[in-house]
Chains A and B, each alone.
Chain A
Amino acid sequence: MKRFRGFVIKEFRHIFRDPRTLAILFGLPVVMIILFGYVVSNELKNIKLVVYDQSEDPVSRELTDKVLASGYFVHVADITSEKQIDEIFKAQQAKLVLIFDRDFEQQIMNEGTVSLRLVADAADANSAILAVNYAQAIIADHFRRQGGGVELPWQVNGRSRMVFNPELRGVYMFVPGLMALILMLISALMTSVTITREKEFGTMEPLLASPLKPREIILGKVAPYVVLSFVNAITIVVLGVLIFRVPIIGSITLLLLECLLFITLALSLGVFISSAAKTQQMAMILSMIGLMLPTILLSGFIFPIDNMPVVLQWFSAIMPARWFIVIVKDIMLKGTGMPFIWKETLILVGMTLFFIMMAVRKFKTRLE
């Protein structure tokens, strides 16, 4: 135990004396979460909206107000003919046109169905889709709250997203993904680099030839990063809550325990990588390409898994981050507990055990 403590103290000294390590450990998560949260988020604000209200009745006016009150749209103009739409889009005066047909209120009362049109400038397809989605969601929400019994075909479409993210805020989607990405990066990259560093500097040789057992070396290397990564996990959650107002509906304790599980998994992956890499550079490249990219692309962090080809969906199933993101979303946004996430948790536990076993087995007591 004294041996182990000495080893851990040495590791902490390495970490706190290397400015680069410190920058990656503590600077990177903060920078990444702020960058991703603000820049990469696919959230739109101040969408320019033009209204073409042909009926000008209380219901159409109420709906217009509702849409504008959401804060996502800015009312730039009213028009009086459909021919103007083209000009407006060409002049890039607006992104979205909201069209109420004649006798809007009466149609609802008499026929129970109503036609309301949204025309979007799809030159920028992504933002057009988002703008339409936002407007649809707001209108659907309005009718649902009123309980007017009006069935709108798109009401069903919007529902799944609206339930847990009523404002359709992108940050809610990004924070869990970012947690997975940052914890994976820090934990796996840092451990693989710190172990290969000993190999590169020739200090691994006397360590191996000492009475230290392989598992003591691995644990001693990993222990400081468990602590530091955990601090990071807490930082990300706090930043998410404070800056982006992401809610934590479920149990914080459970959330942190799941983080710890994921950190352990990422660390054992790092040890595993270090057994294959001979130099720090090699370890870095392996971590980046082998872990970072799949985590970003295949975990459902940015691209929805359901839209992937089947083969990629299989690949996504072996991405630890995929399951972690589901767990974090469930706890933070839905407030669910163990009964709903035991399956994902079990998968993570299984992966962790597998990689720890592989790491210890591959970490040899000799040089070859």
Chain B
Amino acid sequence: MSVTVEHITKSFGDVRALRDISFSIPEGELFGLIGPDGAGKTTLFRILVTLLLADEGQATVAGYDVKKAYRKIRELMGYMAGRFSLYHDLSVRENLEFYATVFGTTIRENYDFVKDIYSHIEPYEDRLAGRLSGGMKQKLALSCALIHRPKVLILDEPTTGVDAVSRKEFWDMLKKIQREGITVLVSTPYMDEAALCDRVGLIQKGNLLAVSDPSELELSNGTKVFRFGTSGRPYDYLQRIRNLDAQVDAWLFGDEIHVFTGAGVDCGELDRTVQSWDVPDLEWGEATPSVEDYFMQKMREEPE
């Protein structure tokens, strides 16, 4: 196992940031930790990168205990913190050079390793890092985190605040890094990025809700999800669907409605009722639950 987390608990004063978190990541996996802001993602990562100590529980990274062998981990791990930790008054190359020397290596020694990513920003080598676009900053930060050939790469919300095209490119790069045999642990608040991971951990208010292959998420209590699409105004139908049954709930997801049904709902009857409405260009059918659906259900189960 490349990363193991066992019963990690952490509180800041009265705030319980992490509650009894356990999971493990095999070597070479691309693991996504997904949850809204304030769920505890950053706290968990800071424990793994040896910057915070857990109140209870154990964790290992690359086979070393995060508390006792933190020096070893700091050599073997690449870490990209939430804000791209670049020196804005240093040029692109100077930033990379600095992180290389910090890890006792040089750009030349490991150039091949970061070439795929660094080549995107190499034309701007002499530009100050503070004057790069968000996407370029992200690539530079990733190059800096990789320049010492880490065994485990830990990225805290690397795609936050970056445009959609750069996000897509970034995930392609992570896939490539993964192919080099590096374990990648990445956190994100974007649910749609879950599908790009081998496995995801869903975290909310300090609780790890599930760890699963993103395509195999199962909703609890036999809940099913139906998608309701129309060329008309979906909002007009939202309340109508909610009024059908106490166990039926509906939420807007973009321009379509996701309908959640409890175990006691007769799906056949629901099907017929909806079909009988006069809905322009109705698209209706059962859907595989997405990560969003999963979070939505959890949020309804545990009200604030």
Contact = CB atoms under 8 A, between A and B. Distances in A.
B87 A205 contact: no
Contacts of B94: 10, 13
Between B51, B52, B99, the greatest number of chain A beta carbons within 10 A of the residue's beta carbon is seen for B51
B101 A2 contact: yes
A224 B71 CA distance: 27
Contact of B97 (A3, A6, A205): A6
A14 B87 contact: yes
Contacts of B3: none
Interface in B84-103: 85-90, 94, 97-103
B101 A6 contact: yes
Nearest to A14: B89
Interface residues of A, number: 25
Nearest to B91: A13
A14 B90 CA distance: 7
A84 interface: no
Interface stretch (A47-55, A107-115, A207-215): A207-215
A203 interface: yes
Contact of B75 (A202, A205, A207, A211): A211
Contact of B86 (A6, A18, A203, A367): A203
A17 interface: yes
Interface in B37-85: 46, 49-53, 70-71, 74-75, 77, 79-83, 85
B85 A205 contact: yes
Contacts of A206: 79-81, 85, 99, 144-145
30 contacts: A2-B101, A2-B104, A3-B104, A5-B101, A6-B97, A6-B102, A7-B98, A7-B101, A10-B98, A13-B94, A14-B87, A201-B83, A202-B82, A205-B79, A206-B79, A206-B81, A206-B99, A206-B144, A206-B145, A209-B77, A209-B79, A209-B81, A210-B99, A210-B102, A210-B103, A211-B74, A211-B102, A211-B104, A366-B50, A367-B46
Given A7-B98, A202-B81, 7 more contacts: A205-B51, A209-B50, A210-B99, A211-B102, A366-B50, A366-B51, A368-B53
Interface of B: 46, 49-53, 70-71, 74-75, 77, 79-83, 85-90, 94, 97-104, 144-145
8 cross-chain pairs, A with B, having the tightest CB-CB distances, nearest first: A6-B101, A202-B83, A205-B81, A206-B85, A367-B51, A203-B85, A17-B89, A209-B49
